[in-house]
């Protein structure tokens, strides 16, 4: 009897999942890569590079970034949830379709490799990125951004090869409450000191 009861309970739990699985999928809106490239070239390329591989460490590399993540950031720049005077101005004139097209085009471009520069810090950066700091309850970056820095759409961006200077700026902004559009990152960055932030950022730059 106990076995039969357990089987009935299991069936009841699985049934809702199966019913949703049989529902028709929501229509997928395909992005227009040609329009994405045209809009990107006109609006974004001067800072982020012709193919999304920014040549300036002050501006992030966007090539091969998860499209969903890029759309989310552009929407939050536009709404003001993510504060940045330059990007808020740029995003203000973009429609939702523009954002999807740009993001899809950038996602299709290959990110060029980068390199770690601070040999003294890279070991510390690797330790924090891969294992966190247990005694201070700092989570490993790899848990959300993956060991290779590939990230997980749409909340956790690709970090592999990102400019160290840009990564430092973002981590400090999270820590200091300037950037507020990720509760998880604010919590992690709040526990990191300047040396640790620099070490993690430099390690990220060399990830492949």
Mean pLDDT across 54-77: 97
The whole-chain average pLDDT of the chain stands at 88
Percentage, residues of the chain above pLDDT 90: 82
Task: Give the total number of structural domains in the chain.
Answer: 2
Residue 74 sits in which domain range? 33-107
Burial class (CB in 10 A: 0-12, 13-18, 19+), 170: buried
Domain boundary among 107, 127, 151: 107
Average pLDDT estimate for 47-66: 98
Confidence of residue 120 (pLDDT cuts 50, 70, 90): confident
pLDDT of residue 10: 37
Supply 118's token pair. Answer: 């601070």
The predicted structure's pLDDT at residue 4: 38
58 and 99 share one domain: yes
Do the domain assignments include residue 58?
yes
Residue 150 falls inside a structural domain? yes
9-13, 28-32, 100-104, 154-158: least confident range: 9-13
What's the pLDDT at 187? 96
Whether 203 shows a pLDDT value over 60: the answer reads yes
Shared domain for 131 and 158, answered yes or no, is yes
Q: Which of 8-12, 144-148, 183-187 has the lowest mean pLDDT?
A: 8-12
CA distances from 63 to 12, 45, 157, 193 (A): 45, 11, 12, 29
**Can you tell me the distance from the alpha carbon of 36 to that of 97, in angstroms, rounded to the nearest whole number?**
9
pLDDT at residue 21, rounded to an integer: 33
Here the tokens at position 137 are 């309850």
Q: Sorting pLDDT into bands at 50, 70 and 90, what band is 28? A: very low
CATH number at residue 95: 1.10.760.10
Reduced to 3 states (helix: H, G, I; strand: E, B; else coil), residue 187 is helix
Q: Which two tokens stand for residue 58?
A: 């002050």
Question: What is the predicted pLDDT for the residue at 24?
Answer: 35
């Amino acid at each position: 009897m106990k076995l039969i009861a357990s089987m009935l309970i299991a069936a009841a739990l699985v049934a809702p999942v199966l019913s949703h699985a049989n529902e028709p999928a929501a229509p997928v809106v395909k992005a227009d890569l040609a329009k994405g490239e045209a809009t990107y070239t006109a609006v974004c390329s001067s800072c982020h590079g012709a193919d999304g591989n920014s040549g300036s460490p002050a501006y992030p590399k966007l090539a091969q970034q998860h499209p969903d993540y890029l759309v989310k950031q552009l929407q939050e720049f536009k709404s003001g949830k993510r504060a940045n005077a330059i990007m808020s101005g740029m995003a203000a004139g973009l429609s939702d379709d523009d954002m999807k097209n740009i993001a899809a085009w950038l996602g299709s471009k290959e990110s060029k490799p980068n390199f770690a520069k601070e040999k003294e810090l890279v070991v510390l950066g690797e330790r924090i990125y891969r294992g966190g700091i247990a005694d201070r309850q700092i989570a490993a970056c790899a848990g959300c951004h993956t060991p290779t820095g590939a990230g997980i759409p749409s909340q956790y961006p690709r970090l592999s090869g990102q400019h160290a200077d840009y990564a430092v700026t973002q981590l400090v902004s999270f820590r200091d409450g300037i950037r507020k559009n990720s509760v998880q990152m604010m919590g992690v960055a709040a526990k990191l000191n300047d040396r640790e932030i620099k070490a993690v950022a430099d390690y990220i730059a060399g990830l492949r």
